[in-house]
Every structure is written in C-alpha cells, then in structure tokens.
A and B are shown apart, each in its own frame.
Chain A
Amino acid sequence: MHTPSLTAGTRLLPTRHGACAAGNRGGRAFPYFHAAPRQRPFKSQLSADQQMASCGAAAALVSPATSPLLPEAPPGLKRSGRVMSRRSELMVACPVVSVVFPGAVTRESCCLFACELLKHVMYQRHQLPLPYEQLAYFWRRAAKDGDGMKKPPPMDPASKKCQQVLMELEGVFQHLEVMFRLTLVPRVLILLGGNVMRPKEFYELNLEGILEGSAEESLKTASCVRKLFHSLFVADVFSELKALPAMGTVVMLQGHRNCGVDWFRPKLNYKVPTQGRKLTVNLSCDGDINISALPAQNVTSDWEDYVWFQAPVTLKGFHE
C-alpha cells in the first residue's frame, strides 16, 4: 500500500464548476476512484488502508482493475468515446440500469443496497461535498480531536450543516433497517429537489424481482453491492448530468400497509411522479434458486396492500 500522491489527488478530484480532465462536466468521479482530496491538509496524511476502512462497504467495490491508486487509469479517460453514443440515448429515454444477481439475496442486503445508493446519489448529485463515508470519518475524527480541548471549537455554518446532514442520514439508515426488517420493500425512491409529487430528479430502486433467501443460501452482500455499483459505473449515468444546487432529498419506500412502522409516514395518495429526470435501477435474481427461498408469487397477490411511506426528514444538501 502506498500513500496517494497529491498530484494524483488533484487530477482525480472532481470539480463542480469546470470540466475535469476528460470533459466530465457535472458528474463526479466515483468515490472509489477518489484519492486524497485537496484543501484538507490532514487528509493527505491518511494512509490508503485507513481510507478504505473508513469507506466501509464501499471499499469492497474497488476491483483490482480499477484501483484508485493507479494514476495511469484516471476515471475520466475510461468514460470518453466508447460510451458516448449509448449515453446520449440513455439521456433521452429514462435510463434504466438492470442488475441480475445469480442467486437469492437477503433482506439485509436489500436494505444495504438502498443505503449505498442513497449515499452514492447524494454525493454524485452534489448534495454532499465528499462521499458519505469520508465525511463521516472526518466528522468523527474532528469530534474526537475536540474532546481533548476545554471548549468545543465554534461551529461555522457549513460544519453545522454537515453535522445535521450526517445525523439525519444516520437516522434514515437506521430506520431503513427497521423498515426492511418489518416488511418486504418492493420499491425505494430517492427524490431530489422540488417536492415529492414533482421532484427535479429521482432515482427508483426496484426490488420486485428479488428473491429473498436466508443468510445461508443467499449471495454475499459485498459481492452484490460490487455488482450493483459496477453496473452503475458501466451505464455511466451520472457524468453527463449538470451540476445541481444544494437542495432537499427525500426518501420514500413501499411497504406493507400493516407493517407497524411508526417513523415513516404513510402516503396513501402517493404515486410515482411522471415528470422530472428519472433513473431506474432494477434488481432481480436469476439462476439456480432453491424453492425454500421466499416465493415472490405470495406477495404479488395482495400487491395493493403495499403503500408508499415517506421518511419524515428532508436531507438538506450542502456545498463546502
């Protein structure tokens, strides 16, 4: 393991306003390609494995071929040319990314997919200045440093915003976990900007095709997450999009009417918006699946009992 060099960091750093080396206008480099970002002197002291550790599940996504530390393979170059034609097609229609897992998946994995997608979308769409894991890491670190001092350092508005978003996100993740434990979740929506009926853009995670399995007979979570993000990367859905101003993000998900969740608010009248930019991520399972895995037919029969629930917080994006 070697420490990321500052030059690599500078080159790979996604820029919000200008174009990146390879004409990456609004989209950001995937966080997994991210070496040390500029302007925070203490970040460059981070060793790579520390960073990986702080990245949690996301760290598992780095495949050897696209190692973050290889300066000769900057992400921007990979997305030029070849993908262009398909990308423009994707932008005209609503882009759909379909991922087929070769086996059953646990419900906990599904929950993690939703959480990781939320983190990813918020970073890619400029609602977080850094990937979630890094923000959380630096925040924890700063908090630890603050303990030693007599008085907590005065908080500037930006770090207050950062703290609030991190806390709210943390809350959303916990409640998502509860929700996934209580009920089958066929669909998750991440809505950015505007209001829930008419968002500026939104992301739909469709889990209807998932076959649920128990922990023993299901695929490993990490490999599924890797597959999901690999597909997202190949489809290259974020790079052409214009940068967004900071705005609110709302999470909605479908669940059973009587699942007994109390944090999420039922929205009985809700229907998925027809306007606004949309990205659909379809997840499904295929292959040799043991029938002991929960058959999906059982639940589809009373599909109308699955209603939309809305998280009662709006995650307020911020720029550094």
Chain B
Amino acid sequence: MDEVAGELKQALPNVCDSIQVHVEVLQKSNSAAKKEDIRMSVLKLLNRHNIVFGDYKWTEFDDGFLNNNVQSVSIVDTDLKLKDRQPIDLSKGSLSLHIFQLNEEGPSSENLEEENEDIIAANHWVLPAAEFHGLWESLIYETEVKSHLLDYVTTTLLFSDKNVDSNLISWNRVVLLHGPPGTGKTSLCKALAQKLTIRLSYRYRYGQLIEINSHSLFSKWFSESGKLVTKMFQKIQELIDDKDALVFVLIDEVESLTAARSAFKAGTEPSDAIRVVNAVLTQIDQIKRYPNVVILTTSNITEKIDMAFVDRADIKQYIGPPSTAAIFRIYLSCLEELMKCQIIYPRQQLLTLRELEMIGFVENNVSRLSLVLKEISRRSEGLSGRVLRKLPFLAHALYIQSPSVTMPTFLQALSLAVDKQFEERSKLADCV
C-alpha cells in the first residue's frame, strides 16, 4: 500500500503538502485514556500512512490501544481548502489533532418563568453531542459555504485574542443564514457549533448550544415580552461567564423576534412586539464584548427582518437549493447508506461526479448506474435538501416494499419518486 502511494506521489508532482490538515479523533465513550497517550498512538498511525487522498476515516486499527480507546480517526474537511482531490502528504503538512468524546445525554430544557414550568424557552446541549455527530458531513453545499463559516469564526477568535479594539473595528459575532425552507440552515448551525467545539477543544473544554424557542419569549402579559428576552439573555450571560465554555446561541426563524419595526407604523403589530426587537438588539450589543460566544440565526423571510439586526450580522449567508452536483452527492450518500444497511443488495460501486468527468461521461459497465443517477439528479433540480433526503425513503415505500432490492430497480423507483414529487408540487400550486 505504501509503495503504491509512493509511486503515485512520483507520478503526481504537485503533492499538496503545505496545508493545515485536521484530524478528528473520536475517543470511545467508555475510554478514560489520557489524551497524550492517544495523541502519540494516532501520530504513529498517521506516520505509517503518510499520503492520503482527500478525506479518510479509520475505524479499525492494528494497535490494541487504539482499538480499545478510539472509535474513529478521520482526516476531515480537506475538500474545503483544496479544490480537487489530490494526494496530501501528512508528514509535511501541519497536522492538528482534535481528540474528543461525545456527550450522549440529550438536550436539557430551560424555563424562564419559575411559576410556569411548562413553557420551555430554550433547548440546551452540551457539545460535542452524539446527536449531531456526522451532521456536518451530511450537509452538502456547492460553494464554499462551510469553509467560509469556519474561517469567519477563526478570524473572530484571532481578533479577540489580539485584543483588537472593538470600537475601531467592530464585529458582532452574529451569523445570519437565510434562504428557502429545507435547505439545512438550522442543521448547518448545529453542525457548525459541533465542528467548532471540536476544532477549538484545545482552548475550550466544552461547548454549549442554546436553541431559543422564539415564540416562548412572547408573554401573555402586555409589556412583559421585552423582559423575557432580557431574562433569556441573562441566562446566556451566566453561561458565557464560564471562560472554559464556547457558547453558541441559535435563534431559529429570527424574523419572529426581530420583525421589521417599520411594520409597526401601519399599526398592525402591538407595541409590545417593538420592545422585543429593541430588547434583542441591545442584548446582542451587550454580548458581543465576550470572546467565547457566537450567535447563529436563521430566517426564511429576510425582507421581514429589521434592518438594524441585519446590519449587526457579520455574515449574511444565502443558503439556496442544491445544484445538480450537490444533489448527486446527496443521492450518493443516501445510496451508500442503503447499501451499508443491505437494503440495496448486492453492493454496486458508484462513481462520483468527478470520476465520471474524468472518463468523459462515457457509458460502460462501470459507469452505467452512475450515469442514471446523474440523470435523476438533473431532473431533481429545484427540490430542497429536506425533500431529497426523504426521496429514497419514499421510493422504497411507494414502489418497492421488499426487504432488499438491486441497485437498478432502486434507481428506477427513485426516478418515479422524483416525478411524483414534481407532480404533487404542481397540483398544490394549482389549488392555490
């Protein structure tokens, strides 16, 4: 294996060797081994495999110590920095090892009003959480959305570290993701929080993700809503006070909290709502002084958001429906999962879009199925990520209903499911 890799290295002259390579090491939940011991063993492992092509994941090891203590060692996010899949020389690039364990308990809830126990104002996760493991990898965007977001937070931290005067250069730690429904904005926020907790584990012990239920911040009592917002942010403040924690505040559907104040002039909104907007804005200004907090927000209807809030967001990232290439990758990951679970049997090798491109889209025995999938992807354009992820399920439910199928049959069913999806959509449009 090593010799082959070595030969390949000779054949491909531009081995990329000067990039930062991130290696995520997932320690088993029952392992109490020291981080340093694990680091040494993983470095030994990486030394033996010094050339990798893109992302790679080890789950089985020759080393008994690693077998006992480590779930997986993955080289991740090489595609964010490198356009093409190319060999990476691990011995030359700088390696950063991130060793982490997952927290298995689910979210805990935060109540605001003591006397009213039923209203849950926020869900609260300790990161890295088992629930969000693998979420980052499952989100596929064509442009550099992910690396953009990661770089943004890196810069934020750098500025905080160097004590850049925030009166001269201001940054707000607010990220706004907007776009049509079902494109994975909320998931991306959660995945980003998880990713950053792992990446920054050397300086923060753990992460906290607070997902605010915006509707619960509106009180039934007139003039109380603004106070509820303040109370919520007080709780967040308590979390931030722990310097060992990296705190992420996720406000989903932020337009409900920060509706444009101009609409109030029409008199259609109660004046209580305007106080909420004001309270949120002042609280955000309060929070931005702290280095260990990031506010993540999402919205479907950007034009409804107050301009003062939009101004405060450092990154306003549009998340659109996936392109054909992204759809292809989404389908590919779905099919891969179904083959792993042996619902599609026997296993078939599918080519990636790039591999298809390299052979010039010539149809042969190897590429036939992949070309069918590419055609399905092309026809699926316009569907959202949420719909795409459930299509394999619908295809099975509607057209297959047997415990195991072959790949060609499944692709046929998938194609029918896509057609049905568009049919349903046009019917809905007719009704309206």
- Chain A residues close to B by CB (< 8 Å): 194-198, 245, 248, 257-258, 262, 265-269, 271, 274-275, 307, 309, 312, 314
Nearest-neighbor residue (CB-CB) of A260 within chain B = B32
Beta-carbon contact of A269 and B101 below 8 Å: yes
Residue B94 interfacial (CB < 8 Å): no
Beta-carbon contact of B238 and A257 below 8 Å: no
| Cα distance, A274 to B205, chains bound together (Å) | 14
Beta-carbon contact of A271 and B35 below 8 Å: no
- Chain B residues close to A by CB (< 8 Å): 27, 29-35, 101, 104-105, 108, 110-111, 117, 124, 126, 201, 205-206, 208, 238-239, 241-242, 244-245
Q: What is the minimal beta-carbon distance from B239 to any residue of chain A, in angstroms? A: 7
| Cα distance, A266 to B35, chains bound together (Å) | 13
Beta-carbon contact of B30 and A262 below 8 Å: yes
Beta-carbon contact of A268 and B105 below 8 Å: no
| Cα distance, A163 to B201, chains bound together (Å) | 40
Q: Which residues of B contact A271 (CB under 8 A)?
A: 205, 244
* Contacting residue for B32 out of A198, A268, A274, A314, CB 8 A: A268
Q: Besides A194-B108, A248-B108, 17 other CB < 8 A contacts?
A: A195-B124, A197-B206, A197-B242, A197-B245, A198-B208, A198-B239, A198-B242, A245-B117, A265-B29, A265-B104, A266-B29, A268-B27, A268-B32, A268-B35, A275-B241, A307-B32, A312-B104
| Cα distance, A47 to B358, chains bound together (Å) | 87
Nearest-neighbor residue (CB-CB) of A263 within chain B = B30
| Cα distance, A275 to B101, chains bound together (Å) | 24
Q: What is the minimal beta-carbon distance from B155 to any residue of chain A, in angstroms? A: 26
Q: What is the minimal beta-carbon distance from B140 to any residue of chain A, in angstroms? A: 31
Q: Which residues of B contact A265 (CB under 8 A)?
A: 29-30, 104
* Contacting residue for A195 out of B105, B238, B241, B242, CB 8 A: B105
Q: What is the minimal beta-carbon distance from B234 to any residue of chain A, in angstroms? A: 12
Nearest-neighbor residue (CB-CB) of B207 within chain A = A197
Nearest-neighbor residue (CB-CB) of A198 within chain B = B239
Beta-carbon contact of B126 and A266 below 8 Å: no
Beta-carbon contact of B35 and A314 below 8 Å: no
Nearest-neighbor residue (CB-CB) of A248 within chain B = B108
Beta-carbon contact of B126 and A196 below 8 Å: yes
Nearest-neighbor residue (CB-CB) of A269 within chain B = B205
Beta-carbon contact of A266 and B117 below 8 Å: no
* Contacting residue for B31 out of A245, A248, A266, CB 8 A: A266
Q: Which residues of A contact B206 (CB under 8 A)?
A: 197, 269
| Cα distance, A194 to B107, chains bound together (Å) | 10
- Pairs across A and B, CB under 8 Å, 10 listed: A194-B110, A196-B126, A198-B208, A198-B238, A245-B111, A262-B30, A266-B31, A268-B27, A275-B241, A307-B32
Q: What is the minimal beta-carbon distance from A157 to any residue of chain B, in angstroms? A: 16
Q: A265-B104, A269-B206 are in contact. Are A197 and B126 (CB under 8 A)?
A: yes
Nearest-neighbor residue (CB-CB) of A256 within chain B = B32
Of the listed residues A198, A258, A275, the one surrounded by the most CB atoms of chain B closer than 10 A to its CB is A198
| Cα distance, A314 to B107, chains bound together (Å) | 12
Nearest-neighbor residue (CB-CB) of A197 within chain B = B126
Nearest-neighbor residue (CB-CB) of B33 within chain A = A257
Beta-carbon contact of A266 and B32 below 8 Å: yes
Q: Which residues of B contact A312 (CB under 8 A)?
A: 104
| Cα distance, A261 to B156, chains bound together (Å) | 41
Beta-carbon contact of A266 and B238 below 8 Å: no
Beta-carbon contact of A275 and B205 below 8 Å: no
| Cα distance, A312 to B105, chains bound together (Å) | 8
Beta-carbon contact of B242 and A274 below 8 Å: yes
Beta-carbon contact of B32 and A275 below 8 Å: no
Q: Which residues of B contact A269 (CB under 8 A)?
A: 101, 201, 205-206
Q: Which residues of B contact A257 (CB under 8 A)?
A: 32-34
| Cα distance, A266 to B27, chains bound together (Å) | 11
Q: What is the minimal beta-carbon distance from A82 to any residue of chain B, in angstroms? A: 30
Q: Which residues of B contact A248 (CB under 8 A)?
A: 108
Beta-carbon contact of B126 and A195 below 8 Å: yes
Q: What is the minimal beta-carbon distance from A161 to any residue of chain B, in angstroms? A: 15
Q: What is the minimal beta-carbon distance from A289 to any residue of chain B, in angstroms? A: 31
Nearest-neighbor residue (CB-CB) of B208 within chain A = A197
Nearest-neighbor residue (CB-CB) of B34 within chain A = A257
Q: Which residues of B contact A195 (CB under 8 A)?
A: 105, 108, 124, 126
Nearest-neighbor residue (CB-CB) of A247 within chain B = B108
Q: What is the minimal beta-carbon distance from B261 to any residue of chain A, in angstroms? A: 34
Beta-carbon contact of A266 and B30 below 8 Å: yes
Q: What is the minimal beta-carbon distance from A302 to any residue of chain B, in angstroms? A: 12
| Cα distance, A307 to B30, chains bound together (Å) | 12
Of the listed residues B32, B101, B124, B241, the one surrounded by the most CB atoms of chain A closer than 10 A to its CB is B32
Beta-carbon contact of A268 and B238 below 8 Å: no
Q: Which residues of B contact A194 (CB under 8 A)?
A: 108, 110, 124
Nearest-neighbor residue (CB-CB) of A199 within chain B = B108
Q: Which residues of B contact A266 (CB under 8 A)?
A: 29-32, 101
Q: Which residues of A contact B105 (CB under 8 A)?
A: 195-196, 314
Q: Which residues of A contact B108 (CB under 8 A)?
A: 194-195, 248
| Cα distance, A314 to B29, chains bound together (Å) | 17
